[in-house]
């Protein structure tokens, strides 16, 4: 399985639990966290089964451009590579960026892609543990259901009620309120660090380059956050 490095930590654990070998597609801060499809091509071998993506990307906050996604889709279609993409953060984006759903690009990539979302972030209700996944590929969905069924016995009653409420278009006002609040807190954090250009954009956290302070970040272990979170930076300084 090809997985980006860095990536939301629990995804590495999922890969390990499935007993798959990880191949790391590195996205680097020096490169503006761009998703370079030439690097991706180098990682694909006849044994590659799946490409695991996250867009908008946690932890970097990068929102993939349509061009990047198109390039990834072309590679996946060309190599008949299945893709899993987490789009949980799809609505929490800043500065006029646009989130594009990978599966929406064309019918070929749609058939290869499984997408997942949740309700914890955009509506600010972590804890209800409700997410959802979609694919037009009936075989892939059949496999997901087969593997998930022994562990998941339906979503909680609270989760179902919350999902029904937040996915209703009438809840749009709530989303606008959350975005307003997120912009405000992000602005405060940027101002405090007085280095707006060093902050990556997106998600609810801000990551800051601290090299000018003479400090450097430690990479806790391969394949996890290369950047420090705000809390860690504060502690560190």
**206 is a site residue for ligand PLP (CB under 6 A):** no
**27 is a site residue for ligand PLP (CB under 6 A):** no
Beta strands in 91-179 (DSSP E): 113-118, 131-134
**118 is a site residue for ligand PLP (CB under 6 A):** yes
Identify residues 88-117 at the interface with ligand PLP (CB under 6 A).
88
Stretch near ligand PLP under the rule CB under 6 A, chosen from 30-38, 124-132, 145-153, 223-231: 124-132
Stretch near ligand PLP under the rule CB under 6 A, chosen from 13-21, 29-37, 125-133, 192-200: 125-133
Stretch near ligand PLP under the rule CB under 6 A, chosen from 23-31, 39-47, 118-126, 147-155: 118-126
**225 is a site residue for ligand PLP (CB under 6 A):** no
Strands 82-86 and 50-54, sheet pairing: parallel
Distance CA 48, CA 56 (A): 23
- Min. distance of Cβ 8 from ligand PLP in angstroms? 4
Mapped onto helix, strand or coil, the DSSP state of residue 84 is: strand
Q: What are the Cα distances from residue 17, in Å, to 21, 47, 49, 212? A: 10, 18, 15, 39
- Min. distance of Cβ 46 from ligand PLP in angstroms? 29
- Say how many residues make up the chain: 237
Q: How many positions of this chain bind ligand PLP (CB under 6 A)?
A: 10
Distance CA 134, CA 102 (A): 12
- Min. distance of Cβ 189 from ligand PLP in angstroms? 18
Task: Find residue 25's DSSP bridge partners.
Answer: 4
User: Residue 135's CB: how many other CB atoms inside 10 A?
Assistant: 21
**122 is a site residue for ligand PLP (CB under 6 A):** no
| CA-based nearest residue to 35, from 80, 89, 71, 88 | 71
Identify residues 130-159 at the interface with ligand PLP (CB under 6 A).
131
Stretch near ligand PLP under the rule CB under 6 A, chosen from 31-39, 126-134, 168-176, 210-218: 126-134
Burial of 22 by CB count in 10 Å (0-12 exposed, 13-18 middle, 19+ buried)? middle
The residue ranges that bind ligand PLP (CB under 6 A) are 8, 54, 58, 86, 88, 118, 120, 126, 129, 131
């Amino acid at each position: 399985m090809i997985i980006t490095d860095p990536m939301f930590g629990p995804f590495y654990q999922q890969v390990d639990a499935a007993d798959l070998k990880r191949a790391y597609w590195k996205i680097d801060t020096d490169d503006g966290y761009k998703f370079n499809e030439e690097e991706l091509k180098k990682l694909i071998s006849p044994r590659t089964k799946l490409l695991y993506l996250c867009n908008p990307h946690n932890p970097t906050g990068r929102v993939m451009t349509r061009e990047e996604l198109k390039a990834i889709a072309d590679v996946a279609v060309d190599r008949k590579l299945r893709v899993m993409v987490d789009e949980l953060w799809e609505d929490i984006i800043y500065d006029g960026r646009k989130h594009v759903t990978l599966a929406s690009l064309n019918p070929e990539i749609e058939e290869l892609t499984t997408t997942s979302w949740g309700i914890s972030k955009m509506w600010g209700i972590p804890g209800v543990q409700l997410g959802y996944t979609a694919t037009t590929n009936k075989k892939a969905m059949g496999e997901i259901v087969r593997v998930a069924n022994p562990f998941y016995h339906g979503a909680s009653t609270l989760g179902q009620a919350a999902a029904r409420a937040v996915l209703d278009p009438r809840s749009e006002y709530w989303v606008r309120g959350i975005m307003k609040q997120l912009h405000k807190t992000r602005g405060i954090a940027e101002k405090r660090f007085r280095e707006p250009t060093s902050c990556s954009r997106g998600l609810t956290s801000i990551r800051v380059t601290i090299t000018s302070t003479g400090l450097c970040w430690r990479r806790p272990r391969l394949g996890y956050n290369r950047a420090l979170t705000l809390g860690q930076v504060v502690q560190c300084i």
